Amino acid sequence: LMGKFSGKVKAEFNPPRRWALLEPLSYRADELTDHEVNALEKVGVTIPSKVVTVPTKFLTDLASVPRICWSFIAPWDVARAAIIHDFLYKAIRQYRWNNAPEDHIAVKRAKTASDTVFLMGMRDADPPVPKWKIYLAYKAVHFFGNISITPTKSNI
């Protein structure tokens, strides 16, 4: 089983560091389990037939890679998977912002499922992403992603 993206990213630069999608971007995550789908749906993501769709006008920074690291892993190396991941993390932030007290288990499960979708998306990318870049990018969101799922007035 392999997932599949709907096509190339069509986006417009939105200074200083964002891109706005000009058309939806979808990823069919064939390997997603029912448990993972349920975890994402619990925080408000709709995933019909294991397809995650990021809407037009969604703002993304592609992959949040520190500029000093761009010589070995640049944001565009994993851009489509990163956009899907950004969309899932935004849903988690919105869920947390709107639900007090929040369900910490639901948040943890949704983050894990989001990171898994990111991993799948990188593995399914065409052109292929080198395995070492997949490993580094996945480990980065696994370890540092909790910062990105913390809601603030500027990121919800």
Q: Average pLDDT in the 26-40 region?
A: 97
- The secondary structure of 24-46 as a DSSP string is -EEEE-TT--HHHHHHHHHTT--
Other CB atoms within 10 A of residue 97 CB = 15
Per residue in 87-97, pLDDT tens? 999 999 999 99
Q: How far apart (Å, rounded) are the C-alpha atoms in residues 45 and 38?
A: 9
pLDDT value at 2 more than 90? no
In the prediction, which pLDDT does 115 show? 97
Q: Which residue has the higher pLDDT, 8 or 17?
A: 8
